Amino acid sequence: MSDLLQIDFSSVQEPRIVGIDLGTTNSLVAFMDLTGPRIIPGPDGGNLVPSVVSRPASGELVVGNAARDLLTSVPERTAYSVKRLMGRGAADVQEELRLFPFRITSDSDSVIHLELGGKVFTPPELSAFMLRQLKQNAESYLGESVSRAVITVPAYFNDAQRQATRDAGRIAGLEVVRLVNEPTAAALAYGLDKRKQGVVAVYDLGGGTFDISILRLHDGIFEVLATNGDTHLGGDDIDNRLLRIALEDIQSEWGEDVSTSAEAVQLLRRAVIQAKESLSFAPATTLEFEYHGRHYRRELGRDLFDKLIADIVDRTLGPCRTCIRDAGVKVEEIDEVVLVGGSTRIPLVRNAVEALFRARPHTELNPDEVVALGAAIQAGILSGKVDNQLLLDVTPLSLGIETMGGGVTRLIQRNSTIPASATEVFTTAVEGQKNVLIHVLQGERELARDCRSLARFDLKDLEPTPAGMARIEVRFLIDANGILNVTARDMRTGREQGVEVKPSYGLTDEQVEAMIRESLEMAEADFKERQVREAQVEADRIRLAVEKAKQSEAYAALSGEEKQRIEAAAAALANTCHSGDHLAIRAAIEALDRATMSLAGKMMDTAVSAALRGTKI
């Protein structure tokens, strides 16, 4: 008898899920072992993998440290800070163009492309090379295949940027099981679940993005009360500020504009970054730059450094105050403050945060690694390796649909915990309407024209009914990754149409961030205009009903005086509709209602008589 095949079922387990921090400057990958989350080192032993991709003359793509070394020799073939370009259009990145040595092209305003050595790539494709490198590092270190990952994103990334991140993971051969906000991942890394309850602020200032989140902890549950930030603010802005000043100083001293040389700019950028990092620990440093036999040297003290970057640091405090207000808490109620991101090593940043929150922030963990460690813990939660933890994220902007008159009905409010769903029933405004256009919007303003358009789709072949009789059920569902699905259903026939909201490119970060600010600034004016629009819609509905009633037997039975009063009230309403005064429109509506009371009574009597005709008791 042949030997039986022996299978060790104890070795059969779910595929491992790793946690990835896909950063603007550096990226990391981590995993959960028996002792907790651990960073996976690269081939060179370092934990940080520079988020740089290069395509030298050989044509073979290079990633990480090797690519960063090529920034000085072939800068036009080397891409960095690609995270800034994710999910954005060409019009959105005009400010960066003169600082990026690589060429950015676009055949439309929708999708941008980066040209490296004659070959064109999209930002998700370049990010995929980074993810593929992290995937390989994990597989080499763990000795097993890695195909699933949790990837972190800035809390303020919009739909387009989140979708671009998921696309990058798919291109890299990774199943992105969850996108997690970076500050939320940091809360996990700091073990805040050990607290029974409390309120925590997570301040995350990285290379290219800034996030602030206020979290409430209760019995092991992480709930994000509010989030805010700036997807165009970070350590890169400090680097660019110092770089511009140094370029001007060199031109004044040498009489030469070295900014036209991509190689010189990258060499100077490296010197500037080294000086910045030194000033995080020392009171003074020396900025040195050598190019074509000429030497530039400047002493730079922390006092001057603080003055040069003070406005950049101040830009982070506005979103912090807004986030605290949105969370519905007072500064005194915030129990702990956590610092995340390499730029939080700067003393001016730490002092500003401590002054605002009136508490010394946590800095125990390496700020470069804390997000990746949190991603690994979230991966452990999803794979069942970590118990008794629940993570709740929020949607940063309200979601709704356009209604008659150009108004907006919000179904999911800003800062709602996700996953989230909402259902509301609407009706038709036109007699015998067969199609309904569903216009999905994102934003805080009262009118559709002032909000961001996410998608449009038609619910077709409705059963014709009188205006106001149809029942259209609209359902919004946001999954755990922040992806929105919208469905509309005719409740009479069961006919249904839906759409997964795809990212809408071409929206600048400034526009997204301005939505909340504008909604506050324009709240009073928006509300007044919405009142006018709604009153006008109601007036149009009543005028249409009156015109239809004029064809009835009940109207013909009215006296001449009654008809005259109705005509006068209808004419007055028509004239008032364009006044822009909602109170006057409402008053005219009420006047027409009073003028038609007798008509309405006669029409009701006629309808009841018709319904009872032939009926026996």
Instruction: Give the active site residues.
Output: 21, 83, 182, 204
The span from the CA of 88 to the CA of 503, in Å, is 10
The span from the CA of 238 to the CA of 288, in Å, is 17
Q: Which residues of 295-326 are buried (b: 16+ CB within 10 A; e: fewer)?
A: ebebebebeebbeebeebbeebeebbebbbeb
Tell how far CA 154 is from the center of its chain.
Answer: 8
Cβ atoms of 155 and 211 closer than 8 Å: yes
The span from the CA of 279 to the CA of 306, in Å, is 10
DSSP 481-546: TS-EEEEEEETTT--EEEEE--------HHHHHHHHHHHHHTHHHHHHHHHHHHHHHHHHHHHHHH
Structure tokens at 538: 């109601």
Indicate the DSSP class of residue 332. Answer: G
The span from the CA of 136 to the CA of 175, in Å, is 15
CA dist 282 → 166, 178, 347 (Å)? 40, 40, 10
**Closest residue by Cα to residue 429 from 457, 447, 405, 458:** 405
- The 3-state DSSP class for residue 400 equals strand
Indicate the DSSP class of residue 33. Answer: E
Handedness of CA 457, 461, 466, 470 (dihedral sign): negative
**Closest residue by Cα to residue 454 from 413, 501, 500, 411:** 501
Structure tokens at 257: 């504009």
